[in-house]
Amino acid sequence: MTVLVTGASGLLGGAVARALVARGADVRTLQRRPSSVDGATDVFGSVTDPDVVARAVRGVDGVVHLAAKVSLAGSPAQFHQVNVDGTRVLLDAGERAGVRRFVQVSSPSVAHLGTSLVGVPATPADPGRARGDYARTKAAAELLALGRDGGGADGAGRAGGPRVVAVRPHIVWGPGDTQLVERVVDRAARGRLPLLGHGAALIDTLYVDNAADGILAALDRLDDAPDVVGGRAYVLTNGEPRTVADLLSGMCRAAGVRAPAWRVPAGLARSAGGLVETLWRVRPGADEPPMTRFLAEQLSTAHWFDQRATRRDLGWLPAVSVDEGMARLAAHYATRRR
């Protein structure tokens, strides 16, 4: 069995590729930098390049598509090119090469319209109303991918196409995470990490190993139960919502830095986020904005999910609890400090 993992240089892509290697799969990766996954075959390039992609999917049985533009800065066109066009290039090439299984790694933000999400199931992606360029383009990409699902006794999918499932991991973190943990720890260390509001909003997160397990479960279920999961989207979380304050202080404690001790009212942070976003657009810098409206919302409103359908349909349970994950994070930082 040969599986292509796109975006394997990231935290999650790397974890997925390694897990596949560990279970004996023939793993190919596609990204611009070395994946540093032992035992995998790297293909270098962009998912937007049809030639590179055609080469990458040749002889491949399943695809796990993680490559995306995730940063907080960038023009709408850039997001669209990577996230939507890149997905289309991959789907087209995959279909031509006879790929049977396609896991679109998406994001809960594709259906997050800015309000609190409290124990909600996965709702359809909404490219028109999702918040920010990343979420909007990921929403479009998810719809695009699910539309190619080749099941469809009901005729909804495309007969003969691959079976497609979308998974939406929510706030993936763990040792080696540069997206969330490093930023939190770095800012906290410099005393520049405020709590928004009371920090009491409950948010779901997902420990990285659980995320990789969940994605592989989705890939497997495309074989075992294609009519159950095909064409559907699942939010993946640890199913253990915690308060923002808890998570941030947990990460800080694990890294050995002082937890955030000052607060910014949530409303102010949202307004400021909007302002900063605008400023950054006018004066694009090398770094990313210190606060965006999206981030302010993410850190001050609840968003946690109903995991019952996910666990039932994927036959998957997160093996690593939040507390165990924090312990592993602490061990990781302890090793780094030595």
Partner 1 sequence: MTGPTAPASTATSPSTTVPRPADTVPPGLPGLDPRYSHVLTDARGASWHYLDNGPELAARLGPDAEPVGTALAVHGNPTWSYLWRKLVTDAVDSARRGGPAWRVVAVDQLEMGLSQRTGEHRPLARRVADLGAFTDALGLTGPVVTLGHDWGGVVSLGWAVDHPDLLAGVALLNTAVHQPDDAPLPAPLRLALAGPVHRLGTRTTRAFLETTLALARPRLPHDVAQAYRLPYLTAGERDGIEGFVADIPVDGAHRSSPELDRIATGVAGLKVPAVLLWGPHDPIFSDRYLDDLTRRLPHAHVHRFADAGHLIAEDADWTPAVLGWLGSGSLSAEGSGSSGTDAFTGPRGPSASGLTSVPELPDPTASWTSSPSARLRDSEVASSLVPVETTDPVLAGSVGGGGPFVPLWARLDGRADDDAPAVLDMTTDGADGRPFTVSWRALDRQVRRIAAGLYGIGVRRGDRVSLLVEPGPTLTALVYACLRIGAVVVVADAGLGVRGLTRAQRGAWPRFVVAQRKGLAAARALGWPGVRISAEPLAPAVLRALGVTHELVDVARAGEGRPLPPEPGPHDEAAVLFTSGSTGPAKGVVYRHAELSALRDALAAHFDVGPDTGLVTGFAPFALLGPALGTRSVTPRMDVSSPRTLTARAVADAVRASDARIVFLSPAAILNVVATADALDGGDRAALARVRTFLSTGAPISAELLGSAAELMPAATPHTPYGMTECLLVTDITLDGIRDAATAPDDGVCVGRPVGGGEVLVSALDDDGAATGAPSAAPGVLGEVLVRAGHLKERYDRLWLTDLAAERDTPMGRWHRTGDVGHLDDQGRLWIEGRLAHVLRTADGPLAPVGPEQHVERVPQVRRAAVVGVGPAGVQQAVAVVETVGDAAGRARRPGLAPDDLATAVRAASPVRLAAVLVAGRMPTDVRHNSKIDRARLATWADRVLAGGRMGAP
Q: Are the C-beta atoms of 253 and 330 separated by less than 8 Å?
A: yes
Closer of 164 and 195 to partner 1 (Cβ): 195
Please give the C-alpha separations between residue 217 and each of 16, 170, 195, 318, in angstroms, as whole numbers. 11, 16, 35, 11
**How many residues of this chain bind partner 1 (CB under 8 A)?**
28
Say whether residue 186 binds partner 1 (CB under 8 A).
no
Closer of 36 and 271 to partner 1 (Cβ): 271
Binding residue for partner 1 (CB under 8 A) from 43, 201, 222, 257? 201
Catalytic residues: 134
What single string gives the DSSP state of each residue in 112-157? --SS-EEEE------TTTSSHHHHHHHHHHHHHHHHT----TTS-S
Closer of 76 and 119 to partner 1 (Cβ): 119
Site string for partner 1, 292-311 (x = CB under 8 A): --------xxx-x-xxx---
Say whether residue 240 binds partner 1 (CB under 8 A).
yes
Binding residue for partner 1 (CB under 8 A) from 157, 239, 318, 325? 239
Closer of 6 and 109 to partner 1 (Cβ): 109
Site string for partner 1, 245-264 (x = CB under 8 A): xx--x---------x-----
163 three-state secondary structure: strand
With CB under 8 A as the contact rule, which of the stretches 37-45, 50-58, 96-104, 194-202 interacts with partner 1? Answer: 194-202
Q: Which residue has the tokens 């990460």?
A: 251
> 280-291: string of b/e by CB count within 10 Å (b at 16+)?
beeeeeeeebeb
Q: What letter would DSSP give residue 6?
A: E
Say whether residue 200 binds partner 1 (CB under 8 A).
yes
- The phi and psi torsions of 268 (rounded to 5 degrees) equal -60, -45
Q: What distance in Å separates the CA atoms of residue 43 and residue 29, rounded to the nearest whole number?
A: 6
| Contact residues for partner 1, defined by CB under 8 A | 116, 118-120, 197-202, 239-243, 245-246, 249, 259, 266, 300-302, 304, 306-308, 321
